[in-house]
Structures are given as C-alpha cells and as structure tokens.
C-alpha cells in the first residue's frame, strides 16, 4: 500500500503523517463477493419506483439538510419519531461523526476486535484513544466481563451486531448492561440486522437506554450500496448532536429520493432477504462438511471461513476463477481467514466448486 510522499508528510498535521491512503484492493471480476453487497437484482417494481422518484427530483435546489421526507419513511419503518433519526452519506459518515462528536484527544473508544476496521481508522483520524477488548480467539464471543469492567472509562463504545466479519449477534441484555455501565453513548452497528433472526435488534432498548445509538444502512439488505445512505436511531438529544456537526448537504437529492422510494417499498425486499438467509445456511452446511475448513455460524450475509493458505487461495479464486472474496488473514486473530459474501445460488455454486477444485 502506498504511503504519503515525504513532501506531503511534512505538510499534513503531524499526527496524520503515518497515514496510508485507502487501498480498496479491488479487481474487476466476474463474481464479486468481497464487500457484502446484495448481489440480487433490485425487485423490478422497486426499480421502477426509484426511477420515477429520481425523474421527479429537481437538481437545481440544495437538498433538505435533514432529509425529512426520508426520515418520516424511516420513522414509520422503525416505529419511532423523525426526531429519533439522523441520515448520513452511508453508515460510514455517521461512524466518523460519532467519533468526531464523542471521541477526540484524551478520550477512549471501547472496541471489540476482530470487527469493522473503520472504527479504529476513524478513531485515528479524530485522535481518539482505543481500548480494545478482544473477542474469544476461537468462538469470537464478546468478553462481556472485560467490556463491562472497561466501560466506566470509555467515552463511547461500538458493538457490531451481526458482527462483521465474524457473523455473531450480541445479546440484548448485555447491551442494556453496557449502556448502564458506559458514561458515554453506546452504538450498536446493525448494518446486517435484516439478515439476522427475528428479534435480534437492540432497538427496543432505546426507550430505557438514552445513550444507545443504533446504526443502519441501505447498503446491505436493500442492495443500495451505491447511493450511500445510512442512518442512526437514538434519543432526540443524541440526534441533535449528529445533526449539529454533519456536513449539511452530505445526503444529496437523488439519494434522498431513491432511499425514500426504497424504504417505502421495503416489503418487496423480504423474499430477497429470505433467499440470502437460506443460501447462507446452504453454504454453511456445504463448507462445514469439508474437514479442511473451519466456518463460523453467521447472522449476516457473509461467512467467515478459515483454511490453510487462505491468502493464496483468495488469489487463485480471483485469477483462475474470476471470483473475488475478502482476505482477512493479515488481521489479528483472523489468520488464514477469508470472508465470503453470500451471493445468488449460481454464484454460491461457483464458489463451492472453485474451492473444492483449489483445495484438492
């Protein structure tokens, strides 16, 4: 990965001198199962509704800074009020703003790796300290005791559920205890919650836990990673913080219009989500049946798989089969692990066949 030039290292803020530009590690392939996108086609009637909404959107006016029409659709989806929601340019913008508002120098993010690497990246950009409480090496279960012990010193916490890349979900009762133990806000990143079993969301704790923040995105279950739309649900005074520090026009008019149409049509996504869940179980069983692989149960639209020589296998999947999956073997605790997004039945069959060929 490239580093900043020496010239730039001397110009940027000193704490940024060691930063490495993001390398998406992207190669165009026939089958891309590397980013947990939804690879199913958008339901035709939803696509039509989105196209009509885009066609009716004037481009000459600035966007509504607070995305109020979209917020009302989202509020209806979740049974909350508009004042409980802030929309962002993808979940990523909201994660950055969360660190910007509640982190900072001399303050500490409570983090549970292996998890989404953006949290630590945004902590470094905002000069927030990170207190890592690692998951169990074998099962990836949270170390609940250590987290509760560290919580009183944390300025903010993030727990991912289902966790990316390990696939497990967090117990609601634990989040309740964590919210009581942590003086700052506790975010539960539910980017993949639609793929989890019913009742897995921590949202119903919002009433009793005024420091809970639940993160959602349209990038995964809604198959809309390209439009960049995420949102948080929290108490109104927490939302006011997100609203106060955001780039006011970060969610553009086309995104607002497309997202509102998709959320309105949300029931049309249920069959797609059901099929991904059933493909996930089929893939899990097929991979678990191979004694050379370790695969963890997942509540997301992806599976974490450990195999000898994972990095090389990923390269060969890409170069010989034109299948892209994500290599995590460099990440602490994830040696020899690949993350494979659950795709369409045809894509999944190809993954299974290619892996069988490469492991022989």
Residues interacting with ligand PLP, by CB under 6 A?
36, 90-92, 116, 160, 164, 189, 191, 217, 219-220, 225, 230
> Shortest Cβ distance from residue 315 to ligand PLP (Å)?
23
Closest to ligand PLP by CB, 133 or 158: 158
In the complex with ligand PLP, the residue whose CB is nearer, 162 or 184, is 162
Question: Least distance in Å: CB of 57 to ligand PLP?
Answer: 21
**53 upstream amide cis, omega within 30 of 0:** no
With respect to ligand PLP, which residue has the nearer C-beta, 132 or 322? 132
Rounded-to-integer distance, Cα 1 and Cα 316, Å: 21
Prior bond of 329 cis (ω within 30°): no
Q: What is the DSSP letter of 39?
A: -
Smallest distance from ligand PLP to CB 230, Å: 4
| Nearest-approach distance from CB 218 to ligand PLP, in angstroms | 7
Q: Which residues contact 61 (CB under 8 A, 6 or more apart)?
A: 253
d(CA 11, CA 5): 10
Residue with the two structure tokens 């990095």 = 311
Q: In whole angstroms, how close is the CB of 225 to ligand PLP at the nearest point?
A: 5
Going by the DSSP 8-state scheme, the letter that residue 97 receives in this structure is H
Pick the closer one to ligand PLP by CB: 120 or 350.
120
Cβ atoms of 263 and 134 within 8 Å: the answer is no
Q: Which is nearer to ligand PLP, 189 or 203 (CB)?
A: 189
Pairing of strands 129-132, 108-111: parallel
Least separation in angstroms between CB 121 and ligand PLP: 12
Report the interhelical angle of 236-245 vs 90-102 (nearest 10°). Answer: 100
Give the residues across from 303 on adjacent strands: 340
Distance between CA 327 and CA 335 in Å, rounded?
9
Tokens 């892996």 map to which residue? Answer: 355
Cα–Cα distance, 259 to 77 (Å, whole number): 13
Nearer to ligand PLP, 36 or 84 (CB): 36
Instruction: Specify the residue, 97 or 160, whose C-beta has the smaller distance to ligand PLP.
Output: 160
Residue 164 Cβ vs ligand PLP, minimum distance, rounded to whole Å: 4
Which residue carries 């390398």 as its tokens? 23
């Amino acid at each position: 990965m490239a580093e900043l030039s020496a010239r730039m290292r001397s110009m940027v803020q000193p704490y940024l001198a060691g930063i490495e530009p993001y390398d998406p590690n992207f190669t165009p392939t026939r089958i891309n199962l590397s980013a947990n996108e939804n690879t199913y086609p958008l339901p035709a009637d939803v696509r039509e509704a989105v196209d009509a909404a885009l066609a009716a959107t004037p481009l000459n006016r600035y966007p509504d800074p607070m995305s109020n029409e979209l917020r009302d659709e989202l509020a209806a989806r979740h049974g909350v009020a508009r004042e409980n929601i802030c929309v962002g340019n993808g979940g990523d913008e909201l994660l950055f703003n969360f660190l910007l508002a509640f982190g900072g120098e001399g303050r500490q993010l409570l983090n549970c790796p292996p998890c989404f690497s953006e949290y630590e990246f945004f902590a470094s950009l905002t000069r927030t300290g990170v207190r890592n409480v690692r998951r169990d090496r074998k099962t990836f279960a949270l170390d609940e005791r250590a987290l509760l012990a560290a919580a009183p010193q944390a300025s903010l916490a993030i727990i991912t559920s289902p966790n990316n890349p390990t696939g497990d979900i967090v117990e609601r009762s634990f989040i309740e205890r964590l919210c009581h133990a942590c003086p700052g806000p506790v975010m539960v990143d539910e980017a993949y919650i639609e793929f989890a079993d019913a009742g897995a969301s921590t949202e119903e704790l919002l009433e009793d836990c005024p420091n809970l923040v639940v993160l959602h995105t349209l990038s995964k279950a809604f198959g809309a990673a390209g439009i960049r739309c995420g949102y948080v649900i929290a108490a109104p005074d927490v939302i006011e913080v997100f609203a106060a520090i955001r780039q006011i026009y970060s969610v553009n008019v086309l995104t607002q219009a497309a997202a509102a149409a998709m959320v309105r049509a949300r029931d049309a996504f249920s069959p797609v989500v059901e099929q991904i869940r059933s493909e996930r179980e089929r893939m899990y069983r097929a991979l678990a049946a191979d004694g050379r692989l370790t695969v963890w149960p997942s509540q997301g639209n992806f599976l974490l798989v450990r195999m000898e020589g994972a990095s090389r296998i990923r390269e060969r999947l890409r170069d010989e089969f034109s299948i892209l999956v994500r290599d995590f073997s460099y990440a602490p605790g994830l040696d020899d692990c690949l993350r494979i997004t659950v795709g369409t039945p045809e894509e999944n069959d190809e993954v299974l066949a290619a892996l069988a060929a490469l492991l022989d």
